[in-house]
Chain A
Amino acid sequence: MRLVRLTLFLLLLVAMLRPGLALAEISLNGSVSNQMRMRILQDYMGDDYDWDVMMLLSTVDVIAKAQNEDRTARMFIDADLRHDPTGVFEDDLEWRLREAYGGYYSTYYSIEIGKRIFSWGMADEFNPTDLINPEDLRWFVTMDKLDRKIGVYSGCLTLMYEGFSFQTVVVPYFEPTLLPAPDSDWLPWQLASVYSITNAFPEYVEYQEDQRPDLTVQNSNVAFRLRGTLGTVDLALTYFDGYDPLPTFDIGINTNTDALVNGDPLLTLRQYYQRYQATGASFAFTYDSFSFRGEGAYYSPRRYMYNIDDSMLSSNNILTTYNVLIGMADNEWGVEKPSWSAAGGIDWRRNTDIYINLQYVHTQILDYEENLSNEENEGMITLKTQTMWLDEDLEVSANGVYNVWQNDWYAKPYIRYKFTTDFTGEFGAQLFDGEAQTQFGDMTDNDFLYTKFKYSF
């Protein structure tokens, strides 16, 4: 079915662009890369080392472009095939159609239809207004942001006038965020506590995964963006109305006393996608060698989960647990709350040798209740430094995130060398630290070193 849908879609694109592609420029590019990650088991550091290969990811990425002479019609396809024997993919292989869209572009408007990745917002890495695409979080946030993004089937109309653009995006087909598997090392503690119920008594739990909204017009995600430059300041206003691709969970408890005897499922675990609205704005301007960027959004409402008390699973006896669960049958597992998120930062570059980017990102849940699994306030300082050596062949960089409120942190130091213009090698580490039940603190056992080689063609 998926293949049929894809074939029909590609035929539609070709039919749409055929008249304009008579004098087409066609190009085929891509890359072949390999990334190996080795875990640093910290318990042994100092006296001994132990290495565990966490990833051996080989990727072939192909980008095909076709456009007519005056660039009024265009087709773009980006697909990759990935192989990793460490068990993340089914049969160790996965292919992704990252983007595939056709577009018509005139001076005052453009229309694009197909699978696309959008990048909204003027802040770096953390973008409160960049809400259209879900992400692949199976390796937490250790992949590059663009690589984490999942393309969405969409229609995009852009109107342009005097340096301003107004973009409307409609996403009729909902795509959820990809989460780490229940046995993954990258499972965040909130999800782990949900899965702990299913893991403890799998035979009594019905797991309703992937409960997507029905494919109806009303369920489409829509987003609008007005963007332009006023004087010397870049500005954007955005609005999003759609489903949160990051699920929360509802737990249904079967109170029928015969259920246990009959072997019926006692629990139903259902992924729940909340529809919400987000109103946001972003700006960027420069002064001398400095760039200032800011971005913020107000979300109303998003759904947050209450903490799940793992102690009910302390017993190995299903009867004991069941009795505890029966008492929780009327519990609410999640609650809708408004929230906001804002990012503000500054970056400075000296020639192309040194680049420093400092940013603060704050998120707050309004009308907060104790016992929510998310903290009321999260504030993160992000730092990105880059220095270039040997005529820009050697890059020495470090990215870091420090959560001011939870005191946990993440760092990624690396060096990248261009052996030729087409072949690069990278060596680095990704490190996590903090208290348990914090975003990065939970990942302290996952510190790793990595190598990555990439050939572009």
Chain B
Amino acid sequence: MKSRLTLLTIIIAITAFAAVSLAALSAYDIAKKSLEISKVPAKVTSYQMEVTNNRGKKKTYKFKVWEKQYADGAKKLVRFTDPADAGGTGLLTHEKKNTDDLQWLFLRSVNKARRLAAGDKDGEFMGSDLWYEDMGTQSADDFTHTLISQVMLNGRNCYLIESVIKPGINFSYSKTRSWVDAENFLGRKMEMYDKSGKHIKTMEIIKAEQMDGIWTMTEGMITTVGAGNAKTVLKILEADYHANIPDNYFTTEFLERF
């Protein structure tokens, strides 16, 4: 009986300690940790994207993403390699803190980098459930975060965080709700809401694993509310979190060299 009591005391103590530790984390801290979990100085990731439309027709794309962090923001280059018809299509994004992103799109049929308007960012990315906006990265500072509760999701203890975009920040969504894994801070599910506050999309993890020691969503699914059976499944084929990427990769000159 004594030993049982001791065990119970230890469990309660650990739980209480954990609760205190967790309570010490603000919603902002959780969101920041989650957004920065895979934020390394430079990384190269290869993706496969399978887009299934409402009629069950499937299209598969492959693309590679080069991403590098700078003092004033991040730069990202997305380049399609497959299918052949889309091969060479590239999207260059310069994200700057506290200002709108700059984006350029390269299409082989035009043969030059074209500046993309901010409004274009809520356009579908290659006909998928992803928007151009989703291909960028967000800063925790652009949102006001609220910790709604702690909930279980697929057997994982998660923080449910609501993040509302701050006034003056140009973002395609008005708010997001994220289920952040309490253990490794991996975002396990995210709901996106349009500017009228209506739930429009959901992104969920199918598979996650450690790559180069960093927890990574290796397979995820994005669905659009009201789009029936349509879905987009995104898989990471390769990831290099210690990449050495020259700065010239993030120029319009490089974008035009498909």
Chain A residues within CB distance 8 Å of chain B: 29-31, 70-71, 74, 103, 105-108, 110, 117, 119-120, 122, 144, 146, 158, 160, 163, 165, 227, 229, 232, 234, 284-291, 293, 347-353, 390-393, 421-422, 424, 456-457
Contact = CB atoms under 8 A, between A and B. Distances in A.
Interface residues of B, number: 42
A421 B123 contact: no
Contact of A117 (B54, B84, B111, B253): B111
Given A107-B246, A160-B251, A457-B84, A351 B102 contact: no
Interface string B80-107: 0001111100000000000110100000
A232 B170 CA distance: 14
A158 B253 contact: yes
A158 B253 CA distance: 9
B59 A107 contact: no
A391 B53 contact: yes
28 contacts: A30-B84, A105-B257, A107-B246, A107-B247, A110-B248, A117-B111, A119-B110, A119-B112, A122-B115, A146-B110, A158-B253, A160-B251, A160-B253, A165-B251, A229-B102, A232-B102, A286-B118, A290-B117, A291-B117, A350-B119, A351-B124, A391-B127, A393-B127, A421-B61, A421-B83, A422-B84, A456-B83, A456-B87
Interface of B: 51, 53-54, 57, 59-61, 83-87, 99-100, 102, 109-112, 114-120, 122-124, 126-127, 230, 246-249, 251-254, 256-257
A286 to B, nearest CB: 4
Contacts of B119: 288-290, 348-350
Nearest to A117: B111
B253 A165 contact: yes
A-B complex: 5 closest residue pairs judged by Cβ atoms: A289-B119, A392-B127, A352-B123, A456-B84, A286-B117
A117 B257 CA distance: 12
Contacts of B102: 229, 232
B225 to A, nearest CB: 15
B124 A352 contact: yes
Given A350-B119, A392-B124, A424 B85 contact: yes
Given A229-B102, A347-B117, A421-B61, 18 more contacts: A71-B249, A105-B248, A119-B112, A119-B256, A146-B111, A160-B248, A227-B252, A232-B100, A284-B114, A288-B119, A289-B118, A291-B114, A349-B119, A351-B122, A351-B123, A351-B124, A393-B127, A424-B85
A391 B227 CA distance: 11
Contacts of A160: 248, 251, 253
Contacts of A390: 53
A78 to B, nearest CB: 10
Contact of B85 (A291, A293, A347, A422): A422
Nearest to B172: A351
A421 B248 contact: no
A369 to B, nearest CB: 36
Nearest to B86: A421
Contacts of A119: 110-112, 256
B109 A285 contact: no
Nearest to B111: A119
A441 to B, nearest CB: 29
A107 B85 contact: no
B201 to A, nearest CB: 13
Contacts of A349: 117, 119-120, 123
Nearest to B247: A107
B116 A291 contact: yes
Contacts of B247: 107
A231 B60 CA distance: 37
A344 to B, nearest CB: 15
A422 B111 contact: no
Contacts of B112: 119-120
A71 B255 CA distance: 13
Contacts of B117: 286-291, 347-349
A276 B252 CA distance: 29
Contacts of B110: 119, 146
A421 B111 contact: no
A350 B121 CA distance: 10
Contacts of A287: 117-118
Contact of A421 (B85, B109, B246, B257): B85
Given A229-B102, A349-B123, A392-B124, A107 B115 contact: no
A74 B257 contact: yes
Contacts of A353: 123
Contacts of B84: 29-31, 422, 456-457
Contacts of B249: 71
Nearest to B81: A27
A158 B257 CA distance: 13
Contacts of A31: 84-85
A163 B111 contact: no
A373 B248 CA distance: 47
B248 A391 contact: no
A444 B109 CA distance: 28
Nearest to A229: B102
B85 A146 contact: no
Given A285-B115, A288-B117, A291-B116, A391 B54 contact: yes
Contacts of A70: 246
Contact of A288 (B116, B118, B251): B118
B26 to A, nearest CB: 33
Contacts of A293: 115
A86 to B, nearest CB: 25
Interface hub of B59, B83, B84 (most chain A Cβ within 10 A):
B84
Best-surrounded residue of B83, B87, B115, B254 (most CB of chain A within 10 A): B115
Contact of A144 (B54, B109, B257): B109
A146 B109 contact: yes
B85 A456 contact: yes
Contacts of A29: 84, 87
B123 A110 contact: no
A348 B61 CA distance: 27
B251 A286 contact: no
A122 to B, nearest CB: 7
Given A146-B109, A391-B230, A421 B115 contact: no
Contacts of A289: 117-120
A188 B111 CA distance: 28
Contacts of B61: 421
